[in-house]
Structure 1
Amino acid sequence: MNPDQAALIAELEEDRPPHAGPVSQLSAAIVTTLIGVAGLAGSLRLGLGELTAPGPGLWPFVISVVITSLSVVLAFVGRQAKDTEKFSRASVQTAVAIATLVLLALALPVIGFEIPSLALTFVWLRFLGKESWRSSIVISLGTVIAFYVLFVLLLQIPLPRLF
């Protein structure tokens, strides 16, 4: 490692939040395990179907198995990790992103995908990504229009929609 690389690494280390520690790691593992188990229960309620005729719960079930498995591994192995960070102001952005996804899921069946998707994309770009107002509006509209054309018009997926 040359001196410039060492200086860059030292500078990056100064900007990092403090190490989270084993309690934070275990807490994160427990929360994600609970999310995975809830996903397993929900996907079973939807029905798994069969391999030749998959039900609506099959892919959520597979994803939930992966989440639960990785969370259990994190509970045992992650407590020794040294590259984890404490929760900070930046962690609030993740919470806001999750909250907006939950709102999207709640609004989708009621008012369709267009308005909630537009709002989600705009909030993520403007407030979480700090993009300009113009680019946030243009990209949000373009994204929803592209999804509408792709999923509704071309693939004819029966999404809940306003139009």
Structure 2
Amino acid sequence: MTSSSRQEAPLGTSTPHAASGTGSSAIEADPVEPLTAEQLAAEWDEERPPHAGPLANVAAGVVTALLGVAGVAMSLSMGIGTPERPEAGMWPLIISLVMAVLSVALLLFGRKTLDAEAFSSSSLQVAAGVGTLIGFVLVIGLTGFEIPTLLLTFFWLRFLGKETWRMSILLSAIVTAAFYLTFVVALSVPIPHLF
């Protein structure tokens, strides 16, 4: 009996022919090559929402400038004190001035920039976040901070962040307890609270 031209594979191993079940050799998959910086930038540009345009940039600058000016007026009405003895309006005044200055810069130089995104359905999430934050500030003096903090955190996690119900409830309770322990118990900050 003559020996066959095909050599036997040792026990415990297989040949490509045996693995594929066909006479052709196994095809190796090509590894995925990483994208270059230019390819990645082009891919991001395709997925990005449309640009806002110069009119939207001007409108944003005007609105934020008006908010900054209103903040300055309210800060001055609260009293700012001195750097050695600041009063309640000191930090709001600084923040409002920075907002107003940056808004003027946006009005002067922002018309040509393309970084801003056009308003879309996702902009409603920002509006909902700001609206609930304003509501939080309005009711915190009436009810204490615990219940509004719990509800605000739950709303942001569940409806804006799309977390699960269980995670939203758990994290809301943890955040509220952490705020209470930090500001009321440890630091004795004079904020309205129930307990």
Please point out which of 69, 80, 84 is paired with 2:112.
80
Shift of 1:26: 0.3
2:142 paired residue number: 110
Distance (Å, rounded) in 1 between the aligned partners of 2:76 and 2:35: 56
State whether structure 2 residue 179 is matched by structure 1 residue 147. yes
Runs of 4+ in 1 over 4 A off after TM superposition: none
Candidates 86, 91, 99, aligned match of 1:59? 91
TM-fit CA distance, 1:3: 5.0
In 2: Cα distance, 1:62 partner to 1:3 partner:
44
SS of structure 1 residue aligned to 2:189: coil
CA–CA distance in 1 between the matches of 2:81 and 2:39? Answer: 56
TM-score by length of 1: 0.95
CA offsets, 1:21-68, max 9 Å, x none? 110000000010111111111111111011111101100111001111
CA 1:3–1:149 in structure 2 vs 1: closer, same or farther (change >3 Å)?
Answer: closer
Residue 119, structure 1, aligned to residue 156, structure 2: no
- For residues 67 and 148 of structure 2, the distance between their equivalents in structure 1, rounded to whole angstroms, comes to 23
Match of 1:11 among 43, 57, 60: 43
Work out the CA distance in 2 between the residues paired with 1:117 and 1:47.
Answer: 28
For 1:34 and 1:161, the matched residues in 2 are separated by 33
- Between stretches 81-90 and 2-11, larger displacement belongs to 2-11
Higher relative contact order (Cα pairs below 8 Å, separated by 6+ residues):
1
* 1:71 corresponds to: 103
Tell me by how many angstroms 1:8 deviates: 2.4
User: Hey, what does 2:170 align to over in structure 1?
Assistant: 138
- CA deviations 1:66-118 (Å, max 9, x no partner) are 11110110011111102221100111111011101100010111111111111
Aligned residues: 162
Confirm whether residue 40 of structure 1 aligns to residue 111 of structure 2. Answer: no
**What SS is found at the alignment partner of 2:67?**
helix
How far apart are the structure 2 equivalents of 1:3 and 1:147?
44
**1:101 aligned residue (121, 133, 137):** 133
Superposition RMSD in Å: 1.2
Counterpart residue identity of residue 87, structure 1: F
Aligned CA distance change for structure 1 residues 3 and 104 (closer, same or farther; 3 Å): closer
Which structure: greater helix fraction? 1
Structure number with bigger Rg:
2
Flag structure 1 segments of 5+ consecutive residues without an equivalent. Answer: none
